[in-house]
Amino acid sequence: MDYQIFPPEEIVDAIIKLPLSKSISNRALMINALSGNAGTIAEVAKCDDTDAMSRALDSDSDEINIGAAGTAMRFLTAFFAMQEGRTVTLDGSERMRQRPIGVLVNALRDCGADISYAREENYPPLRITGKKLTGGTITVDGSTSSQYISALLMAAPRMEKGLTINLTGDIVSRPYILMTLGLMEQWGVESEFASNTITIAPQSYRATDFTVEADWSAASYWFETAAFSFGDIKLLGLESRSLQGDSRIMSLFNNFGIEAQWDNESALELNASPDITPRLVADLTDCPDLAQTIIVTCCVLNLPFRITGLSTLKIKETDRIAALCNELRKLSFIIGQPDDSTLEWEGARAPVNADVPLAIDTYDDHRMAMAFAPVALFLPGIVIRDVEVVSKSYPEFWNDMRKTGFTLEEITPSKVEE
């Protein structure tokens, strides 16, 4: 299904109850399962990724398909590797079968895991025979995906020798590693992270009752909306002292004139001003999920930029670097890519076809849909294709847009630019 989006005349006092963090939810679900589900998680994110994780943890099947849920694939690989006496084939969508997992599989094998590839080497599906893992000291490339490292860390306390991980290269998404360690601490597990080495001794998770905070990644699309509309928007459910690295969106959007202020511990008010930076230079190594929001905002505001730290975007739901360049070209912006981890724009434009509504392809990627939707404030009638993709992390996104005053009309593909 495609939506053609028309903006409200004015956004006034919009109040958005944000979805819960799927990053925290998935970690909490795995840690709680490793504790024997002795504690209670009050509520988890209602989205495809967390649903896939919950279903898999509750399943007694020997064939588990997690669809497009990348976090679940990584975490469950480690989880099932430790389930003694159980053999599971862990599979996913066609895109998931194209996302490499060899770094994690090799690390788990170094810990004693019995994992083989059911089809292509280094890619799902995986055939996992659970056993007691030895652990010990391993070396992992920290420049690939923090989810590999988080999966290993959560499994570490249950290993016979515990686990010491020596990280090589540039560590990407470090805040997600710190999030994992912080959550493990709330379940009673101690760790040490010194220089590029993480050490976790053998120990037990304790029963813990836990509450998941709202999602800062989801908040980013409302920061973008505030920057485009000069509207007043209030976001509910966020934590001011968050474990989420994407809370950096507050400081990043200062560059776009957005002042964010807490009116209490869980309500954040966004107010816009015309005071924006003349050029944005930012390293998103620690928060790559903000890349689409930041880059689309820069372009629409005609703000030159150089954004680095994007190396992991190629192995997300889609190749997000290619997807961004393709779709921004439809808006006339010619994005430069000097290397595999950098995108930049210094004002280069190209002509566009203004005779038909402009349609944004979403590439089975929830963040493409949500990052481009607020562009309707500048281009009324823009079309977002395959809008169902937002269910991966923020199923209520379109309803929240309607509540804010946007008009969303279902449209057939024949009416828009191919």
Question: 301-336 burial string, b = 16+ CB within 10 Å, else e?
Answer: bebbbbbbbbbbbebbbbbbbebbbebbebbebebe
Tokens of 398: 């379109």
DSSP state letter for 349: B
Give Cα separations from 303 to 230, 255, 338, 397 (angstroms).
Answer: 17, 10, 18, 26
Q: How many CA atoms lie less than 13 Å away from 59 in the CB half-sphere?
A: 19
Active-site choice (2, 286, 289, 361): 289
Q: What angle do CA 168, 172, 178 make, to 5 degrees?
A: 95
CA-CA distance, 34 to 1, in Å (whole number)? Answer: 39
Instruction: Give Cα 386 distance to the centre of its chain.
Output: 19
CB 150 within 8 A of CB 176: yes
CA-CA distance, 239 to 187, in Å (whole number)? Answer: 19
CA-CA distance, 366 to 387, in Å (whole number)? Answer: 8
CA-CA distance, 51 to 272, in Å (whole number)? Answer: 36
Give Cα separations from 274 to 251, 259, 295, 301, 376 (angstroms).
Answer: 16, 11, 18, 11, 19
CB 101 within 8 A of CB 90: no
Question: 168-180 burial string, b = 16+ CB within 10 Å, else e?
Answer: eeebbbbbbbbbb
Is 58 noted as a catalytic residue in this protein?
no
Residue positions annotated with a catalytic role: 289
